[in-house]
């Protein structure tokens, strides 16, 4: 039941927004009562935290697996991370939108749990860029921090428009983006 509530809440929060979705909306759409909700969650915000953690933890684990694969070059690792994020939209896109949009609805104490994980994800990419620069895979004069924000912008913004059942597949989009990131769009 707890899982059922969480899943349905992700659907509703994504569609209507966290503040705009009432507990009543949520439980009615499942067919239980408010009491049931509060049997499983201590508050609405607790549920939001659960969603955040479920999303970012899975992402971090996947990222870790990619980064620790020593058979891959930095370029390949970057491609894998980008593809993971695009592919992710199919299964986790709603949770992702909530993650990016509703963070402000977490209290300071709860933010203190989530924010370091979000930063970790970004810093892992930044570390990958720096390593690639050292190994001669990436240009040596990059501003790794800002470039990372750029890459994250490309991928995170995809949650706003990418349609997994549209014309271009996730792998195609990921390839286009990685090619853009690596080679640019300019004629040489």
Partner DNA sequence: TATGAATGAGCGTTCATTCAT
Partner DNA sequence: AATGAATGAACGCTCATTCAT
Sole binder of DNA in the list 12, 14, 44, 125 (CB under 7 A): 44
d(CA 177, CA 185): 10
Residue 23 as a binder of DNA (CB under 7 A): the answer is: yes
Sole binder of its own copies in the list 23, 84, 111, 142 (CB under 8 A): 142
Residues 17-46 that bind its own copies (CB under 8 A): 17, 19-20
How many residues interact with its own copies (rule CB under 8 A)?
Answer: 43
Sole binder of DNA in the list 35, 136, 140, 184 (CB under 7 A): 35
What would the DSSP string read from start to end of 85-102?
HHHHHHHHHHHHHHHHHS
Dihedral sign from CA coordinates of 133, 139, 145, 151: negative
Tell me the three state secondary structure of residue 170. helix
Tell me the three state secondary structure of residue 83. helix
Q: Minimum CB separation from DNA for residue 107, in Å?
A: 10
DSSP 8-class letter at 33: -
Could you tell which of DNA, its own copies, none binds residue 33, using a CB distance below 5 to 8 A set by kind?
DNA
For residues 47 and 36, the answer to whether their CB atoms sit within 8 Å is no
Give the number of other Cβ atoms within 10 Å of residue 113's Cβ: 13
Gyration radius from the chain CA atoms: 19
Q: Minimum CB separation from DNA for residue 47, in Å?
A: 8
For residues 142 and 129, the answer to whether their CB atoms sit within 8 Å is yes
The interface mask with its own copies, positions 99-118, x = CB under 8 A, is --x--xx-------------
Could you tell which of its own copies, DNA, none binds residue 71, using a CB distance below 5 to 8 A set by kind?
none
Nearer to DNA, 43 or 61 (CB): 43
Residues forming the site for its own copies (CB under 8 A): 16-17, 19-20, 75, 101, 104-105, 129, 136-140, 142-143, 146-147, 149-150, 152-158, 161-162, 168, 173, 176-177, 179-188
């Amino acid at each position: 039941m707890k899982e059922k509530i969480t899943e349905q809440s992700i659907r509703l929060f994504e569609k209507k927004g966290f503040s705009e979705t009432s507990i009543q909306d949520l439980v009615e759409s499942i067919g239980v009562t408010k009491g049931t909700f509060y049997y499983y969650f201590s508050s609405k915000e607790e549920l939001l935290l659960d969603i955040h953690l479920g999303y970012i933890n899975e992402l971090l684990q996947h990222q870790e697996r990619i980064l620790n694969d020593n058979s891959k070059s930095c370029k390949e690792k970057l491609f894998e991370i980008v593809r993971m994020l695009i592919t992710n939209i199919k299964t986790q896109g709603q949770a992702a939108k909530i993650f990016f949009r509703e963070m402000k609805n977490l209290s300071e104490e709860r933010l203190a749990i989530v924010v370091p994980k979000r930063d970790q994800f970004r810093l892992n990419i930044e570390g990958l860029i720096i390593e690639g620069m050292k190994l001669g895979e990436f240009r040596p004069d990059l501003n790794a921090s800002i470039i990372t924000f750029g890459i994250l912008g490309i991928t995170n913004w995809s949650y706003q428009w990418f349609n997994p059942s549209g014309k271009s597949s996730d792998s195609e989009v990921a390839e286009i983006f990685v090619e853009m990131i690596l080679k640019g769009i300019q004629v040489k």
